[in-house]
């Protein structure tokens, strides 16, 4: 939700500035459809970036779990990762990434 708000506000501010500076009118004068020219690249970038951010957050979370298990519980990292792979399957990770691709639109 925070990411959607930040991205939405940023894109809105940028397009509003372009409207004030008459850049959108210039695009129309050149025969370019402003909606396609301005929004499609941003939509593609958001669609690609959000799943990558979620995957990075997943790996950082796993690393944090390894650190907590090591320093507070005395569990070796290899043992933690082995037990985690028994409980959390690759399918769970892929379903989570799939959800981000659906919900980021």
Residue 31 has which token pair? 């025969």
Segment 17-66, tens digit of pLDDT: 877 778 888 888 888 888 788 888 888 888 888 888 889 999 999 999 99
Q: Distance (Å, rounded) from C-alpha 37 to C-alpha 43?
A: 11
Number of H helices, E strands in the chain: 5, 0
For residue 82 the two structure tokens come to 């082995």
- CA 60-61-67 angle, 5° bins: 90
- What is residue 104's predicted lDDT score, i.e. its pLDDT? 67
> Can you say how many angstroms the Cα of residue 23 is from the centroid of all Cα atoms in its chain?
29
Question: For position 56, what pLDDT does the model report?
Answer: 93
User: What is the extent of the structural domain holding 86?
Assistant: 2-103
d(CA 51, CA 54): 5
Count of structural domains within the chain: 1
**pLDDT at 82 > cutoff 80:** yes
pTM of the model: 0.69
The DSSP call for residue 88 is S
In three-state secondary structure terms, 103 is helix
- Banded pLDDT at 67 (limits 50, 70, 90): very high
pLDDT at res. 72: 93
Structure token pair of residue 39: 């929004």
């Amino acid at each position: 939700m925070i990411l959607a708000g930040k991205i939405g506000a940023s894109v809105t501010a940028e397009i509003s500035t372009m409207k004030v500076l008459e850049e959108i009118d210039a695009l129309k004068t050149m025969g370019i459809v402003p909606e396609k020219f301005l929004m499609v690249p941003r939509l593609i970038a958001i669609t690609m970036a959000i799943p990558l951010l979620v995957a990075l957050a997943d790996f950082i979370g796993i690393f944090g779990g390894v650190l907590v298990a090591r320093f507070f519980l005395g569990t070796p990292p290899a043992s933690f990762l082995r037990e985690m792979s028994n409980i959390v399957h690759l399918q769970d990770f892929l379903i989570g990434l799939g959800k981000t691709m659906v919900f980021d639109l």
